[in-house]
Structures are given as structure tokens and as C-alpha cells.
A and B are shown apart, each in its own frame.
Chain A
């Protein structure tokens, strides 16, 4: 496994904005996740070599952050917020509805590898609760009908 030429160039550009190389760790791990889909041990080893850093340093950092995925997830990662405002506005029902609809539990992936369902903490969109994020996009003011419509649009 290796970064594409384009990603390598992107990384060099990012690096030029920082006085020390370690500052480019989070951007580099984001690039890796975008390119490979997740950040496994093997990918961390590659990144360590690529950045000429200790793999332990990288692992120590990567394991701290909830957005870095250690393994492959479904094509669509459904992240439902269950913090206070969303919870008051029915996030629990939303999670139950998706579980039933996709016939999976939280932290599970559908057999066709299309959807993975997870619960996340506050997404910073409390005024339009309940809220979920699917991959990069936010979906707000959720209802069961809206979920039907959103999930049917994703192929």
C-alpha cells in the first residue's frame, strides 16, 4: 500500500504550513483515511515510514481520536448523535428505528457492507435535533419518514 502521487503532493503542501513535522500527523491520518477508508495497524506502519516517525508515536495519537477508524466500515457510516439535546428530541427512537430498519445493532454493519450504525456524542447541531451524520454530511430534524427517504437515496 502506498499513497497516490496526488496525495503525496497534497501532503507536501500541507507540511509547508507547519514549523514541525508532527503537526502534519492529523492531516496525514485524515488523508490516509480518505484514501484507504480506514487506518489499520498496517496503514499506521506505512504512515510512520512515510513521515519518518516512530509507529508508536503515531499509534498513540491515532488511538485517541474517535473519527479514525481502525477497521473497514460499511460504505455509509451512519452516526447518530445521542447527546442531551438530541436525546431530549427523540434520538433514542431514531436509533431504534434505524436498528429495526437495517436489522443491525449499534456498532454493526449490514451483511451487504452498505451501512454501519454508530452512536456519537454531540455533533454541534442541537437546534435541529435529532441529528445524524452519514460519512461527511449532516442530516437534521430527523423523523422516521426522513430516514426512509435519506436511506433510500443512498446507493
Chain B
């Protein structure tokens, strides 16, 4: 069952508008705009049960429903293409190889939330992706899917690419809004949530690339058929990103609920050099690592939460037995220390403290109490910051220490 890679996996598929239409593309836009009201589309997406693919997993249709009724302000759609969670590289493949699938999702979503201006915020490093999208937007405008009076319906929509400029935090939706407005990417205190007060203080929906790319399927086939894919509370297919010590790294699309073991050993070809698995991060580097005896888990939102981790962005980072978790946690701590936006003290100070303590341990200068100090810091960052970056940096470090404490102790004794 492929929804997102269906076209891309065809050998001759170029991603041009001709190719996309040949594969049945843009039929969902026609159906949505000509035959459905915005409210009916929101209902259909609610029925599909799809949850946001950016990492937080919030139900998409419910989010759309939060736009205030009868607002007199303009409404904005923002496609979050600031893909930066370490271990994640799924949005890039859609952007570069099937840009019209994403655009069709953006057009339908804009119509459903009654927006006439969509911004596609793409991370600055994706220069090729931004160029690819710009030409796709031109193609779509020439074909009458973007611009004024779309398909003769009287509905207008402008889609503008907005390039970021380096900064992991801008993937957080309120930091992204600040960045879009020309400011530092400093997350906002919520509420107000973006649906009530987002870009330019107007109602705004921020959706991830992969989420939006699912919308044409939902419109073509109905929310109920989408809900039949996957498992309870985690419907649909998901792009899983395999990287690290694995024989066949890459992007794989499967219904949510596939087991992590099968992803790694059946589809990913197992561990490199026939080594043993030591640990695996299931959802991008912000999510707690799983030990090798925890991989018989279903890859869905609830099952991973039940064992103390999370699906996140489904960036699966595989680590073999040669890895020292002190090195890994130092790499992760350095990342979060570098990327902290500096707004909240616990995060701005806590992340470098964790980095420095792990660095000291690695250099053989650690003290016995350092390990517990590390854990203590994670609890003093978690929940004490404006945005979830605090957890994103604290959770993984806590899990590395708790699950691989002996690696840390080896450097101290």
C-alpha cells in the first residue's frame, strides 16, 4: 500500500505536471473545489484520522477545525518544509521528486481552511528543492490550479516559497511563524495557538509536508478508506527513514503499525557487517533510544509512547554494537546545545551543561556523581521551556544514561 511513494517508485517518473497528471494527479483538486464545500473536506480529513507527520502527531482535521468561524481576518496555510530533525529525510524526497503531490495537498488544504495565501517554508539548505518547487508552482499556475479563479470556481490562491536560513528551531511551528515574519526564530508562548493567532496575528494552520501530501488520497478515496490503513489511533501509511548502521538505508513507506524489528531486519537488510544491534532511535534524535530488546514494538504513535519513546518524525537511527553511547550522547548533546535558540534559561544553560559533562566523561575526567547530575539536568530542563525543544534535548540524554549507564561508568572507573 503506497500513497506517498506510489509515483516516485516508478522508474521513469520525473515529477513533471504531465507525469503527475498521467498518474491521476490533480483529480482530487477538481473534486474538492467543484464538488465539495470546505466544511465537507475538513470532515473527510477528520474521518481519515490522519495525525500530523512533523513529529507531534496532532490530528490534522481537528487542527483545521480550530480556525475561528466567520473570522474577518485573512487565513494562512503554512507548509512546514523545514525538515531538520536528525535522522529525518522524508520530506525532501517528496519535494524533489513529486512536488505536485505536495502542491495538490496544499491547494486542497488552503481551500478547506478558506485561505488564499499559502507559504511553503523550506529550510535554506534545500536550494534544489526550493527551485524544484518554484518551477512546479509555475507549471501548476499555467495549468490553472494556482492563481486566480482556480478551475473556474472563483477561488483564488497564491503559493509562495519562503526559504529559511539555518536554524533547527524554525521547524517548531511558532518559531517558524516568527522567522516568516522576519525575526529570530524564537518560539511563542501558547496560547494563543496559531489557528487563532498565527502568521501576522491572523488564523494560521501549519502542516508538515508529508501530512499535506496525504490529502489528495483522502479526498480521492474518502476518509474512511484512509482510516482502514494502519492501526487504531495511527491511521494511514508513514514514511520511515532508515539511517545509521543498516545495510539498506533509505525511505520506506508502510502502514503505521509495522514492527521495528521487521523494518530493520526484513526491509532494511539488517545491521551492517553482520554486527549486533546495540540501540535504535525510532523517531529522530529527540526521541528516547530503544535498547536491542525493545524492537518488537509496533511503529505507531501509541505503542511507542507506551514504552516511553515516540514515533516523532519516524527517523530511525540504527546503532550497532561497536558504538559507545557516550560518543552518541555527546553528539546529540552538542547538536541541542548548538541549536538552542537561547530564549529560555533552562534550555540555553542546560544543553551546554549536558554537553560539557558528557565531554568530560568521555575524556576520562568524569566524576562518579556526574551521571546523576546529567539525569538531574534533564529533569530541570523538561517542561520548563516555552517550546518542546527542552524535551527534545533532555529526553534522549536521559534515555542514553538510563539504558546504557555501563557505557558511561566505563569511562569513569
Residues of B within 8 A of A65 (CB): 124, 164-167, 185
Compute how far the CA of A22 lies from the CA of B163 in the bound complex, rounded to whole angstroms: 14
Number of interface residues of B (CB under 8 A): 56
Whether, in the assembled complex, B87 has its beta carbon less than 8 Å from a beta carbon of chain A, the answer is: yes
Whether, in the assembled complex, B355 has its beta carbon less than 8 Å from a beta carbon of chain A, the answer is: no
Contact with A along B247-276 (1 / 0, CB 8 A): 001110000000000000000000000000
Compute how far the CA of A129 lies from the CA of B319 in the bound complex, rounded to whole angstroms: 14
Number of interface residues of A (CB under 8 A): 39
- From A4-12, A81-89, A102-110, A145-153, the one touching the partner chain is A81-89
Whether, in the assembled complex, A155 has its beta carbon less than 8 Å from a beta carbon of chain B, the answer is: no
Residues of B within 8 A of A60 (CB): 183-184
Q: A121-B339, A124-B125, A126-B317 are in contact. Are A84 and B332 (CB under 8 A)?
A: yes
Compute how far the CA of A30 lies from the CA of B127 in the bound complex, rounded to whole angstroms: 11
Residues of A within 8 A of B46 (CB): none
Compute how far the CA of A121 lies from the CA of B87 in the bound complex, rounded to whole angstroms: 11
Q: A24-B182, A26-B162, A128-B249 are in contact. Are A133 and B125 (CB under 8 A)?
A: yes
- From B7-15, B104-112, B237-245, B380-388, the one touching the partner chain is B237-245
Residue of B nearest to A126 (CB): B243
Contact with B along A15-38 (1 / 0, CB 8 A): 001111011111101100000000
Q: A64-B185, A121-B339, A126-B315 are in contact. Are A85 and B87 (CB under 8 A)?
A: yes
A61→B183 contact, CB < 8 A: yes
B355 nearest CB across to chain A (Å): 13
A84→B165 contact, CB < 8 A: no
Partner-A contacts on B (CB < 8 A): 74, 83-89, 91-92, 117, 123-128, 158, 160, 162-168, 179-185, 200, 241-245, 249-251, 281, 285, 315, 317, 319, 323, 327-328, 331-332, 335, 338-339, 341
Partner-B contacts on A (CB < 8 A): 17-20, 22-27, 29-30, 60-61, 64-68, 82-85, 87-89, 121-129, 133, 136-138
